[in-house]
Structure 1
Amino acid sequence: MTTLTDQPQWQKLSELAASVKQAHMRDWFAEDSQRAQSMQAKACGIFLDYSKNRVTDEVLTTLFDLARAQGLETARERMFSGEPVNHTEQRAVLHTALRNLSGEPVQVEGEDVMPEIQATLEKMREFTEAVHNQTHVGYTGKPVKDIVAIGIGGSFLGPKIMTEALKPYRTDKVKVHFVANVDGCHIHDVLSQVNHEETLIVMSSKSFSTQETLQNTQSAKQWFLKAGGSQADIARHFVAVSSNVKAATEFGIDKDNVFPMWDWVGGRYSLWSAIGLPICLALGYDNFHRLLKGAHQMDEHFRSAPLKNNLPVILGMLGVWYRNFFNAQSHVLLPYYHYLRGLPAYVQQLDMESNGKRTNDSGDTVNYQTGPIIWGSEGTNGQHSFHQLIHQGTSVIPADFLLPLKVPNQNDTHHAMLASNCFGQSQALMQGKTYDECYADLADETDVQRRSKLAAHKTMPGNKPSNTLLFEQLDPETLGSLVALYEHKVFVQGVIWEVNSFDQWGVELGKQLGNEVLNGIQGNADASQFDDSTLQLIKQFTQAN
């Protein structure tokens, strides 16, 4: 079997990179008036301009050839068809089935999973409507006004960030609060704002044993009981998204208010499942369904579009180009829309937990770089802080600029300023400013030596790569498509790098050790299992408490 670095396309890309590094995008734009038109793509309401990348037509063709050589098209179909592509855990990977609106069956081990998915969606719809129309009320008969959603990782980030991004679509019937941090300050601050008689707790944990989530839920239970509720009343005020029905009912949750999870849905891909119940409650079921619709549309595009016109493939292969041939250690996301400010954190988990791997599908340690560091924040704020590093630092940091063309609740001047900053930053990163241009700007400086020195400090090399993604507006469909776009980009890169994008053994180790240390702090563990540093830390903590 040919390894990745032995693929002829990989070898050719290495040669092309050497020549591309000597070229400047500024010159390419000057020489080719059609460059922008030839390097753009559109699908599902998302327009992608990737012309400000350090690529030629030959580079792009070779990247797509590498994708074919690595079996991307076959791997893509295996995932959609329900084969166990998560091979280390022998599981199918079917977040795409959760938003499958085609009416077609999806088989897992010979069984169509779509009826159970559709039944769960119907259960979510009915429960959401019961809360909103006040047929589901608290134990004193008062309607639910506040939802406290407790989870962590994908069970927290997905619902929180989607709800935040779609703020203009929120219902005024309830207010949703999110809690993830096991730091007691967080759950205390949230519960101090709400009335226990009018509050619904939504606990999301597949196992019903995730340490942080279970502790926060126990604290919420103690708060509820202390405020006047009884154990029997918990059934009106607590619901769970979990596969462990027994643990949920022993906690006091009505079995009819336990929403299912499946092994073939990873946490970071789970917002489309019952994990999205807080989204339903915040936005209404119809808007949640629109979110699914947008994601399904991107699934169809990813599954059927030719590689050269395929948004996830284009973004994924550009990422491979910079990670492996330009030593780009990170990738920055820059949403120019306040409500979308949480997207970098969402993609950070999605990407880094999926492709932060060093072992390939054969069990061998790879000899190339895999997943990059993902980071970022909302656009104009970053321009006054970390953009400095992107413009004049020594690292190659590819950037994604994201902008809705229309936004609610803004006058023309605000949004025009936002757009001008977005477009201006991508232009500045590509174009830069030469020493000669900076020197000419300093014509009033009479000290030649100082003028030369200042010109050097003001010079920006440019040639910094970026993509710009535009969409008409950030409605539920578009957000669904956008998130699915990044999901599939991650999948593309996992296939190229030959890593399993769907396990997370590093996360599992952290959970295991955290539980062991907790036992140590509580005096329930053999001290010999800890290294001396950890023992000293435990000792200092226990002495202080």
Structure 2
Amino acid sequence: MKQNRCDQTPAWKALADHYLDKGRSFDARDALSGDAGRFTALSQQAPHVFADLSKNLIDGATEQLLQDLASQTGVLAHRDAMFAGAKINSTEDRAVMHFLLREPKGVPGGTLRAERAAVHETLDRMLAYAEAERADDAITDVVNIGIGGSDLGPQMVTIALDAFATPKKRFHFVSNVDGHELAGVLRHLKPQSTLFLIASKTFTTIETMTNAQSARQWFESQGGTDVARHFAALTTNVEAASKFGISTTFGFWDWVGGRYSLWSAIGLPIAIAIGADGFRELLAGAHAMDEHFRTAPPEQNLPLRLGLLDVWYRNFHGFTSRSVAPYHSALRRFPAYLQQLEMESNGKRVDLDGKALAFGTSPVVWGEPGTNGQHAYFQMLHQGTDVVPLEFIAVRDAAHDLQGHHAKLLANALAQAQALLQGKADAGGHRHFPGNRPSTFFVLDRLDAASLGALIALYEHRVFVSGAVWGINSFDQWGVELGKVLAKDIEPRLASGDASNLDASTAGLLARLRA
């Protein structure tokens, strides 16, 4: 499917002119004080997520030009192609259909009838297994061994929904090939009460399989006798899992990218933690956001508005990073999850035809939970030389009954957003806050499975939008391959000391590490 490259459209030129004329000098403080309807116009309720965009450096004219850009680059047509099952992952000749994992039963099959049937057959089987393990009091610890999307998503969601998790089990996530991580987990476990989940689509991922082999060696050395009972695999390579000793496997499909896989069998640790009903609520929340993205009019389509805002900031204001500050400790792994989602998706330098881009793509995404971030990096956000758009995520209702805590938390979130906007004058300079620093404020009524599912899907579709505008493939990740290939060459050199054909720096470091 041919798309128009954004920098070759009339809207791109119009936005560049608009930026020079008004955008670079836009003051959100003046806009808010001079327009009583600005908050209403630039905020909206989407499924489970309220968003306030009114502190951003945009107005109605900017949004209209951005909508023109979306139209001229075919963003909505690209969206429709995804939902129709087209192979929009062109470099791998694959469809992109993680949305199917979230659809409830009863959606008309159409051309995707077989895929929908396979999804629900696997989901029902996976959730039945999760319920059985959840009810088995002999299993006290669940260890998920995976990396990338097979770790970040399940770990983030399991932590975020801990308030709804069974208190009878502890959940551990091992991803790093650094043996210190696995050893630190195993130190507290007993083989007879531990379930290991090995998450690797191909069952060949080096980091995952190294950890899996070591986990099995530990299991057997500590007196474990039934690998088939204490290990399950989330993989499509049933033969390799069987050779490992695993008989319980749950697969997924090549149209599920790793960073979009928590909705699939990769979400098994989530399902064991919060139960089948909770997992279905997670899927339902994401599906509600899918439908919003698919059907809402452009001017009230929140993923579209956010993705276009990202383009405005990255390509016209020149902001190279964006920070995310969830004001809820349970969302502490959410920024890390978003790093993979956005930077692996849109960290590309060529268009769909393989031609070099003349503009920037993915910003650096980073963050920490508030109020911790306030005492770490907010200094730079308020008074640093770079402008970094900030996203606040607040939850109205607490899931605890400790007095006084939640009001202080929410007050801090509101105050930090207000301070970034308003600033403070100081003739001496040291206490001067320039203000007019943009932020977006998201509000969830409560942090539960449905709202978390919607929030994740919102970010997924937002990344889709900016990638579609830029005309890149947001669904491959060739950038991770080169280093992995070179590591296979270097590993035996650490034993032999052979430095032939290495650059001087690598050879010197090799010698240093062998000393």
Is TM-score (shorter-chain normalized) higher than 0.5? yes
Q: What amino acid maps onto 2:16 in structure 1?
A: S
Q: Measure how far apart 1:277 and its partner are.
A: 0.4
- Could you tell me which of 30, 49, 53 is aligned with 1:46? 49
Q: Measure how far apart 1:87 and its partner are.
A: 0.2
How far apart are the structure 2 equivalents of 1:105 and 1:271? Answer: 24
- Could you tell me which of 463, 470, 476 is aligned with 1:497? 470
| 2:93 aligned partner | 90
- Could you tell me which of 114, 119, 122 is aligned with 2:121? 119
How far apart are the structure 1 equivalents of 2:403 and 2:59? Answer: 37
Q: Secondary structure at the match of 1:333?
A: strand
| 2:26 aligned partner | 23
2:457 maps to 1:457: no
| 2:134 aligned partner | 132
How far apart are the structure 1 equivalents of 2:110 and 2:314? Answer: 36
How far apart are the structure 1 equivalents of 2:4 and 2:410? Answer: 46
Q: Measure how far apart 1:73 and its partner are.
A: 0.9
TM-score relative to the length of structure 2: 0.96
Deviations 1:352-411 (CA, angstroms, capped at 9, x unpaired): 000000010111000001000000111111112211111111212111111010011144
Residue pair 1:105, 1:112 contacting (<8 A) in 2 also: no
2:58 maps to 1:55: yes
Residue pair 1:81, 1:106 contacting (<8 A) in 2 also: no
How far apart are the structure 2 equivalents of 1:106 and 1:538? Answer: 56
Distance 1:111 1:473, change over 3 A: closer
Residue pair 2:176, 2:207 contacting (<8 A) in 1 also: yes
| 1:456-535 pair list within 5 angstroms | 456-523=429-496, 527-535=499-507
Q: What amino acid maps onto 2:223 in structure 1?
A: G
Deviations 1:477-498 (CA, angstroms, capped at 9, x unpaired): 0000000000000000000011
2:474 maps to 1:536: no
Deviations 1:26-80 (CA, angstroms, capped at 9, x unpaired): 1112211221111111111211110001111100111011111110111001111
| 1:125-274 pair list within 5 angstroms | 125-134=127-136, 143-230=138-225, 233-254=226-247, 257-274=248-265
Q: Secondary structure at the match of 2:90?
A: coil
Q: Secondary structure at the match of 2:412?
A: helix
Residue pair 1:170, 1:282 contacting (<8 A) in 2 also: yes
Q: Secondary structure at the match of 1:160?
A: helix
How far apart are the structure 2 equivalents of 1:181 and 1:200? Answer: 19
Q: Measure how far apart 1:329 and its partner are.
A: 0.5
Residue pair 2:5, 2:73 contacting (<8 A) in 1 also: no
- Could you tell me which of 304, 307, 314 is aligned with 2:305? 314
Residue pair 1:326, 1:396 contacting (<8 A) in 2 also: no
How far apart are the structure 2 equivalents of 1:468 and 1:206? Answer: 36
Q: Secondary structure at the match of 2:355?
A: coil
2:2 maps to 1:9: no
Q: What amino acid maps onto 2:232 in structure 1?
A: V
How far apart are the structure 1 equivalents of 2:368 and 2:296? Answer: 31
Q: What amino acid maps onto 1:282 in structure 2?
A: A
How far apart are the structure 2 equivalents of 1:515 and 1:261? Answer: 27
Any unmatched runs of 5+ in structure 1? 135-141, 439-451
Q: Measure how far apart 1:522 and its partner are.
A: 4.1
Residue pair 1:105, 1:113 contacting (<8 A) in 2 also: no
2:405 maps to 1:414: yes
Deviations 1:269-314 (CA, angstroms, capped at 9, x unpaired): 1000000001111111111111001000000000000111111111
How far apart are the structure 2 equivalents of 1:30 and 1:274? Answer: 50
TM-score relative to the length of structure 1: 0.91
Distance 1:412 1:98, change over 3 A: same
Q: Secondary structure at the match of 1:395?
A: coil
| 2:72 aligned partner | 69
**Percent identity between the two aligned chains:** 45
How far apart are the structure 2 equivalents of 1:522 and 1:92? Answer: 43
Distance 1:107 1:175, change over 3 A: farther
Q: Secondary structure at the match of 2:25?
A: coil
Residue pair 1:177, 1:190 contacting (<8 A) in 2 also: yes
Distance 1:102 1:185, change over 3 A: same
Q: Measure how far apart 1:105 and its partner are.
A: 4.9
RMSD, aligned α-carbons: 1.7
How far apart are the structure 2 equivalents of 1:353 and 1:480? Answer: 20
Residue pair 2:141, 2:169 contacting (<8 A) in 1 also: yes
How far apart are the structure 2 equivalents of 1:283 and 1:263? Answer: 27
- Could you tell me which of 324, 338, 349 is aligned with 1:358? 349
Q: What amino acid maps onto 2:45 in structure 1?
A: K
How far apart are the structure 1 equivalents of 2:357 and 2:105? Answer: 39
| 1:392 aligned partner | 383
How far apart are the structure 2 equivalents of 1:332 and 1:61? Answer: 25
Q: What amino acid maps onto 1:104 in structure 2?
A: V
| 1:285-364 pair list within 5 angstroms | 285-364=276-355
Q: For structure 1, which segment, 209-218 or 3-12, has the greater mean C-alpha deviation from structure 2 after superposition?
A: 3-12
Distance 1:111 1:510, change over 3 A: farther
Residue pair 1:95, 1:269 contacting (<8 A) in 2 also: yes
Q: What amino acid maps onto 1:386 in structure 2?
A: Y
Q: Measure how far apart 1:538 and its partner are.
A: 2.5
Pairs aligned (count): 512
Q: Secondary structure at the match of 1:113?
A: helix
Residue pair 2:5, 2:470 contacting (<8 A) in 1 also: no
How far apart are the structure 2 equivalents of 1:263 and 1:290? Answer: 25
Larger CA Rg, structure 1 vs 2: 1
